[in-house]
Amino acid sequence: MRFTVSELASRLGGRFEGCTGEEIVSGFATDNRQVQPGDLFLAIRGANVDGHTFVNQALASGAVAAVVEKAHFQPSGQPCIVVESLVDALAFMGRSFRNEFSGPVIGITGSAGKTTTKEFTVSALSTIGRVIRTEGNRNTEFTSPLAWPEQWEVDGSSAHSAVIEMGMRGFGQIAHLAAISKPTVAIITNIGWSHLELVGSREGIARAKSEILEGLAEDGTAVLWSEDEYLGNLINAAGDRKIVTFGRSGNADCQVTDYKPIDWFEAEISGVLKGKKWKAVMPTVGRHLALNVAAALLAATEAGAPLDAAAEAIGRTQLPPMRMEIRSWKGATLVMDNYNSNPPAVEFALETLADVPVEGQRIVVLGTMRELGEESAAGHRNVGRAVARFKPDRVVLIGPDTDKIEGGAVAKGYPAEKITHAATVEDLESAIGPVHPGDAVLVKGSRALELERGFSA
């Protein structure tokens, strides 16, 4: 990335001061502690921290300038780009690049599997050219627009396509992001439970996620899960736009017909896409993740990728940490699936633990599922029922409402003596007890719990 301060000021709809405007920007920083020389520091006003108070520290660390809001920072000689609203300015910048881009743009949202699906889609599309993509899970109003300038490369003409992830923390956010990136293909992975407390109900989640369809081009394509409980809602939101589906059912346009875990690192999957068979080696395990592959292949082929090459490329995908990440711990296999947690995601993880060949014991550590609002008690009880169904050898619970998991499990016949509670993250090792080579320990909980801290190297 190489842009002048002057050009970015113009694309942000702001004015620069305290510098010549010819300074070169090579990246963006949203945290003053992570500034690298050449970065443009974004002064974000969060719920607890105001980035404007760290402008001078960011500049001292090598930032060439800071983007500040007029009402919250008055420059006194510091190099700055002054804007009215940082959110609006970043949207303005993102749209300025998007309007100059002519390739297909795949927008991705959903309650679970967004980032994994994004990475699979990038791999599939990379078979026909360079892909502009959101990095990691940078899917907010502050970070999603940055994908365009960060990976633009002169005029964007060297990129074939773009894959943009869009997160949701309430109504209107996905609509905002979709208006920036204007997707030509939109994937909704599923309607689950994440952020339930922010929108009131799962119907609210469906409505919030369907905002991506409102931003979809009129001649664009919606990629939806055929077995989704809220498929009808999403079809209605898509209006007259083309709809294609992925799933396990025979009526899906891209059907997963077989899934076989090889070990903790790979699984063989196969399917049929509009009558043509495909096979792929997925560099992770989980029947639910095979659906992410199907969604990615369907979207990539809609964007012009050849199916065989796209399926072969799935095996080269580099997945982000904390999503079925495999580590070694005291000779046992530690499965860290600790990025987010909600009832369906925990059930999928338990199913995966039951599916993969394990020589020793199957042990599961389950933490509180947050942001479920009024559905928290019911959601935790549902997870308990899943524990009874998949029958791990031992269960360790930690955090509020996990007593509901125990209650749900015991009510369905799971032995109470196999369940232990840990008071703190630091107590997890003692609560788990001895493990041996051949054992597998699955760790699943909301990201805020940082359950990984409970496992020494």
Q: What is the CATH number of the domain that holds 369?
A: 3.90.190.20
Range with lowest mean pLDDT among 11-25, 194-208, 370-384: 194-208
Tell me: do 120 and 257 sit in the same domain. Answer: yes
Q: Which of 296, 316, 336 corresponds to the end of one domain?
A: 316
* Pair 377, 278 in one domain: no
Provide the domain count of the chain: 3
**Average pLDDT, stretch 64-69?**
98
Cα angle, residue 379 at apex, residues 373 and 381 outer, rounded to 5°:
135
- Whole-number pLDDT of residue 154: 55
Q: Tell me which residue of 31, 34, 30, 26 sits closest to 64, measured CA to CA.
A: 26
Question: Averaging pLDDT over each range in 165-174, 210-219, 365-374, which range is the top one?
Answer: 210-219
Q: Are residues 237 and 298 in the same domain?
A: yes
Closest to 166 in 3D by CA, of 119, 107, 118: 107
Which backbone phi and psi does 371 adopt, to 5 degrees?
A: 65, 30
Integer Cα distance of 357 and 414 in angstroms: 22
Listed residues 83, 112, 144: the one ending a domain: 83
The pairing of strands 159-165 and 105-109 is parallel
As a whole number, mean pLDDT of residues 45-70 equals 95
Same domain, yes or no: 308 and 162: yes
pLDDT at position 371 is 77
pLDDT over 90 percentage in the chain: 81
Buried b (16+ CB within 10 A) or exposed e, 194-225: bbbebbeebeebbbbbbbbbebbeeebbbbbb
Same domain, 10 and 34: yes
Which of residues 316, 340, 373 is at a domain's end? Answer: 316
pLDDT in the model for residue 64 = 98
| Residue scoring higher pLDDT (200 or 172) | 172
Which pLDDT tens digit goes with each residue over 424-439? 999 999 999 999 999 9
Domain that holds residue 145: 91-316
* Pair 298, 356 in one domain: no
Distance CA 161, CA 171 (A): 28
Q: Which residues contact 377 (CB under 8 A, 6 or more apart)?
A: 401, 404
